[in-house]
């Protein structure tokens, strides 16, 4: 499917947004519409409007198309990546496969300071059926070694290289401006974004405007050639509840809105990155402000974490905020693992983070009444009531974990057909007690009498 489509994408402008604006429904749009139970025309119109993006670099030839926007299901991103201290190509590919296995819709390669960064990324893209995102600043600094030596050409060279490799979206920290820097001084934790802090360091040392902001038009030209979407990064996202929703964060958000319009003028797809650490009572306001300042471009948030003291359990604390954020209007959630703030996640941590966030995303989709979002839950209810254990395992978000927990206390194969679990046993199982009672009761006659009584009362 992708090879046939690539032949059709010719000329200087190759983006999904370009074709959507021309009224053309691409094969990617058709595929997504069927997968999401939506009309292809709705997908096209939302892409043209900028409320939905299809991150699909033309060089990622075995990519399964997906979309990020409010009319589609809430998506979940998994962060992986090697560091100078841990991980290698084999480990990163393993993390990628674990991410995809447990439902990641996109994966970000956040390798920083690692050896063989190009080879790691090539291996990840080659093994991935989902879009891959990066923060190019990490490789830029790795190659030039000293942030002071950063040039505009360094930025464009690395972006072009990653685009050629097949990266489908870049996180670009272009919204942090010199005029925002005094606002950072009021914070408890300053700048916690890695890409943002590196960019700010260059700005302060050279007393010059953000280089990504200065050459934003040239960056757009690269994105347009390969159909790389932009994930406009929030350099000033709050790193603690104390800094949440402060002036620094919101002023940068307004700049991201200006950059969004510039990108759309060149038919480059955009989503906006968001916080961070936000108390429960401020989540809705954060989402509403993004929709206003950034013209309803898809919102992509990390968490948000709703408390600062959950170290070791931040995947839980942040999933609470993530479910609320998705309910209020966020289109994609960036997962948080138990290792957040503590260390580089391993394969086990990836699984835990993914499950926490698939629960958050699915819960929001049910609340939003996304078409067919609850079908699987209703089927699970039927399977539970009828003690169909294998069907329950099949429907669970994590079938292996469900089976593992069931078999932990009832390991014999005979209990796969048992009409109880180890929680209550056969004597106190409410399903079993109810079913036995109903067998001894003329349920049809009772229902008939009840309906007749209701009719008379009305």
Please compute the mean of the pLDDT values over residues 186-196 and round it to a whole number: 95
Final residue before a domain boundary, out of 367, 383, 408? 367
Which residues have C-beta within 8 Å of that of residue 102, sequence separation ≥ 6? 350, 351, 354, 355, 358, 397, 398
399 shares a domain with 280: no
pLDDT for the residue 430: 73
Q: Is 273 annotated as a binding residue?
A: yes
Residue that is last in its domain, among 343, 367, 391 = 367
User: Is 277 marked as a binding-site residue?
Assistant: yes
- Known binder of ligand: residue 300? yes
The pLDDT value given to residue 448: 81
288 annotated as ligand-binding:
no
Higher pLDDT, 89 or 455: 89
Q: Is residue 431 part of a domain?
A: yes
Closest CA relative to residue 50, chosen from 174, 224, 302, 229: 229
Residue 434 lies in a domain: yes
Tell me, yes or no, whether 412 and 298 share the same domain.
no
Q: What is the pLDDT of residues 221-278, one digit of tens each?
A: 999 999 999 999 999 999 999 999 999 999 999 999 999 999 999 999 999 999 999 9
pLDDT in tens, 122-163: 999 999 999 999 999 999 999 998 999 999 999 999 999 999
281 is in an annotated binding site: no
CATH code of the domain covering residue 156: 3.20.20.540
* Mean pLDDT lowest among 45-59, 279-293, 406-420: 406-420
Which residue segment(s) compose the domain that 406 sits in?
A: 375-457
> Does some domain include residue 262?
yes
Same domain, yes or no, for 106 and 195? yes
Same domain? For 326 and 391 the reply is no
Q: Are residues 291 and 437 in the same domain?
A: no
Confidence of residue 411 (pLDDT cuts 50, 70, 90): low
pLDDT at residue 423, rounded to an integer: 61
Is residue 2 assigned to a domain? Answer: no
**Does the annotation flag 236 for ligand binding?**
yes
Query: Does the pLDDT value for residue 404 go beyond 60?
Result: yes
Q: Is residue 296 part of a domain?
A: yes
Instruction: Give the range among 188-202, 284-298, 382-396 with minimum mean pLDDT.
Output: 382-396
Residue 193 among known ligand-binding residues: yes
Say whether both 100 and 244 belong to one domain: yes
Residue 315 sits in the same domain as residue 379: no
Confidence of residue 417 (pLDDT cuts 50, 70, 90): low
pLDDT at 432 > cutoff 90: no
94 occurs within a structural domain: yes
Q: Are residues 335 and 212 in the same domain?
A: yes
Whether 276 and 255 map to the same domain: the answer is: yes
- Asked whether residue 19 is marked as a ligand-binding residue, the answer is no
| pLDDT value of residue 26 | 96
- The answer to the question of whether 173 is labelled as a binding residue is yes
Q: 196 pLDDT band (50/70/90 cuts)?
A: very high
pLDDT of residue 421: 65
* Total domains, the chain: 2
Ligand-binding annotation for 108, yes or no, is: yes
pLDDT-derived band at 83, boundaries 50, 70, 90: confident
Residue 453 has pLDDT above 60, yes or no: yes
Domain boundary among 347, 367, 387: 367
Q: Are residues 421 and 331 in the same domain?
A: no
Do 346 and 398 belong to one domain?
no
Q: Is residue 52 part of a domain?
A: no
Same domain? 341 vs 408: no
In a domain, 403, yes or no: yes
Tell whether pTM > 0.75: yes
Q: What is the pLDDT of residues 301-345, one digit of tens each?
A: 999 999 999 999 999 999 999 999 999 999 999 999 999 999 888
Q: Is 223 annotated as a binding residue?
A: no
Residue-wise pLDDT for 12-52, tens only, equals 668 999 999 999 999 999 999 999 999 999 999 999 999 99
341 is in an annotated binding site: yes
Report the pLDDT value the prediction gives residue 11, as an integer from 0 to 100.
56
């Amino acid at each position: 499917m992708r090879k046939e489509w690539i032949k059709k994408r010719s000329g200087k402008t190759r983006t999904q947004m370009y074709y959507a604006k021309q009224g053309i429904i691409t094969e990617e749009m058709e595929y997504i519409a069927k997968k999401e139970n939506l009309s292809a025309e709705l997908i096209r119109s939302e892409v043209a409007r900028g409320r939905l993006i299809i991150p699909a670099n033309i060089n990622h030839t075995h990519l399964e198309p997906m979309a990020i926007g409010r009319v589609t299901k809430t998506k979940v991103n998994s962060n992986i990546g090697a560091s100078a201290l841990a991980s290698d190509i084999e480990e990163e590919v393993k993390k990628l496969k674990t991410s995809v296995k447990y439902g990641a819709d996109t994966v970000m390669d956040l390798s920083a300071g690692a050896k063989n960064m190009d080879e790691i990324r090539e291996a990840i893209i080659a093994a991935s059926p989902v879009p891959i995102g990066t923060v190019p600043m990490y490789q830029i600094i790795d190659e030039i070694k000293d942030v002071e030596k950063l040039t505009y050409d360094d930025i464009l060279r690395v972006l072009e290289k990653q685009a050629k490799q097949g990266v489908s979206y870049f996180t670009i920290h272009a919204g942090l401006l010199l005029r925002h820097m005094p606002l950072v001084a009021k914070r408890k934790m300053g700048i916690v974004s890695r890409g943002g802090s590196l960019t700010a360091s260059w700005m302060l040392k050279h007393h010059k405007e953000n280089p990504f902001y200065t050459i934003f038009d040239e960056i757009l030209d690269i994105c347009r050639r390969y159909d790389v979407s932009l994930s406009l990064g929030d350099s000033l996202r709050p790193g603690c509840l104390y800094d949440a929703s402060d002036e620094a964060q919101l002023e940068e958000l307004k700049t991201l809105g200006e950059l969004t319009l510039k990108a759309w003028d060149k038919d480059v797809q955009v989503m906006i990155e968001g916080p961070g650490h936000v108390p429960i009572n401020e989540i809705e306001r954060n989402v509403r402000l993004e929709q206003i300042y950034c013209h309803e471009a898809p919102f992509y948030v990390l968490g948000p974490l709703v408390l600062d003291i959950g170290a070791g359990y931040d995947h839980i604390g942040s999933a609470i905020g993530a479910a609320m954020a998705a309910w209020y209007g966020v289109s994609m959630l960036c997962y948080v693992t138990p290792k957040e703030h503590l260390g580089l996640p391993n394969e086990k941590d990836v699984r835990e983070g993914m499950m926490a966030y698939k629960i958050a995303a699915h819960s929001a989709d049910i609340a939003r009444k996304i078409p067919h979002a609850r079908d699987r839950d209703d089927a699970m209810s039927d399977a539970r009531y009828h003690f169909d254990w294998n069907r329950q395992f099949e429907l669970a978000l994590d079938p292996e974990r469900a089976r593992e927990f069931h078999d932990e206390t009832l390991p014999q194969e005979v209990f796969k057909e048992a009409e109880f679990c180890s929680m209550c046993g056969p004597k106190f199982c409410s399903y079993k007690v109810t079913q036995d009672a109903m067998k001894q009761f003329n349920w049809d006659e009772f229902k008939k009498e009840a309906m007749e009584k209701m009719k008379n009362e009305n």
